[in-house]
Chains A and B, each alone.
Chain A
Amino acid sequence: MVFNEKIVDAGELKHIEGKIELYWIYTSGEAGDRFFKALKDEGKFLAAKCTCCGKTYFPPRIYCEYDFSETEFVEISGEGCVRAFAVATLDNNEESLKNPEIYAIIDMDGTDGCIIHLLGEMDAEDIRVGMKVKPVLKSKEEREGRITDILYFKPV
C-alpha cells in the first residue's frame, strides 16, 4: 500500500514559494485634492454645497449626485457628533492592542456627510452616541495631506 510509504521527513516534502507584486497610487481626485490641501496647509475642513438644492457633501464632491448641479466649497468647523462607534482590541494581524482603539462614525456639523475616524482622550465607557467631538490635528510640519493628518477626535 502506498499509504505505508508516506513521506514523513518534512525536508523531503516540496513546496513552492511565490510573491505577488502589487503597487498602486490612488489620487484623491479634484474635490479630495482640495480637501486634503486645505487640511494640510491651513488645518481647515472643507465641504461642498450644492448650488441648487443646498445639500452639503462631506467629504466634498465636485457635483451633486441628486440634481447633477455643480457644488461650491464651504468651510466647516470640523466638529461633529458621534453617530456610532466600535472599540477595537485587536490590530490588523489579530494581535492584542495595549491601548484599544475607538473607531467612530462622526456626523460633521453643517453638512449632510460623515467621517470614520478614531476617538481619543477618552475611555470607551464614557462614549455616548450623540456626544460632541472636535478634531485634533498633527502639527503643520508633520501634516502630509492624508486622512492621518487628523490624529483623532476628542470630546468638546
Chain B
Amino acid sequence: MAVGKKDISCPPYVKGREIKAEDIKEGKVTYWEHHPDIRYSFTAGQAISRFLKGLKEGKLLATKCDHCGRIMFPPRMFCELCFRPVDEWCEVKDTGVVETFSVSYIDPDAKPLEEPVIVAVISVDGASPKMGFMHILGEVDPDDVYIGMKVKAVWKSESEREGSVTDIKYWKPLEG
C-alpha cells in the first residue's frame, strides 16, 4: 500500500466540460485573451555587416589573424583562439565542400513541402579548414548528395542582390 494514502471518497476523475470555438465567440464562457506585440531588431555587427555588403558585390569576405594564420569565414573582428583583433580582410572562393547535410521535407511551420530542401554545412575553399556556413543545395537529387561533395555557389543577378545570405540562391554540385 502506498505510504500516506488517504481514504478518498470522490471519483478519481472529474468529468471535463468540452468548450467549442463558438462558445468563446458567443461569450458563453469567460476567458482572457492576449496578443503580445514582440518585436526585435538584431544588429549584424561590424564583421557581418561588411560580409553582407560583400555578398551584394558578389564576393565572399573573410578575415585573417596573423598570429595563428587562420582565415576565418564567416568573418569576425576578433580571433577567439589568440584573444586579439584580426589583421586583415580577404576574399575566399565561392566553391566549397559539403561537410554535412540534411534533407528537409517540411517548412518552418512544419507544413509538408512539395520539393524537399537540402540544407548543408559547406566549408568554403580559401578559408581555413572546417570554416564555412550553412546554406541550401540545388540542382541535385537528395539521393546524390554526399559528404565531401564539391559545390559552387549560384548567385542571384547583380540587380537582384540586396546584401543578404539569400543573394546566393543555392550551391550546386561542381562537376569534374
Contacts and interface: CB of A to CB of B under 8 A. Distances in A.
Contacts of A62: 14
Main SS of the interface on chain A?
A: mixed
Contact of A16 (B30, B42, B53, B63): B42
B120 interface: no
Nearest to A25: B33
Interface stretch (B81-89, B110-118, B128-136, B142-150): B81-89
Given A17-B41, A20-B38, A7 B30 contact: no
B3 interface: no
B35 A36 contact: no
Chain B residues touching A, range: 35 or more
Interface in A106-156: 145-146
Contact of B43 (A5, A6, A15, A40): A15
Given A22-B36, A69-B9, A145-B30, A30 B44 contact: no
Interface string A48-92: 000000000000001100011110000000000000000000000
Contacts of A67: 6
Nearest to A13: B49
Contacts of A98: none
A12 B17 CA distance: 57
A32 B31 CA distance: 9
A145 B39 CA distance: 30
Contacts of A17: 39-42
A63 B14 contact: yes
B48 interface: yes
Given A14-B43, A62-B14, A3 B85 contact: yes
Contacts of B44: 13-16
A16 B49 CA distance: 11
Given A18-B40, A62-B14, A27 B30 contact: yes
A96 interface: no
Given A2-B85, A16-B41, A22-B35, 11 more contacts: A2-B63, A2-B89, A13-B43, A14-B53, A14-B163, A15-B44, A23-B33, A24-B33, A25-B31, A40-B30, A145-B27
8 contacts: A6-B46, A7-B49, A15-B41, A27-B29, A40-B30, A62-B14, A67-B6, A69-B10
Interface of A: 1-3, 5-7, 12-20, 22-28, 30, 32-33, 36-37, 40, 62-63, 67-70, 145-146
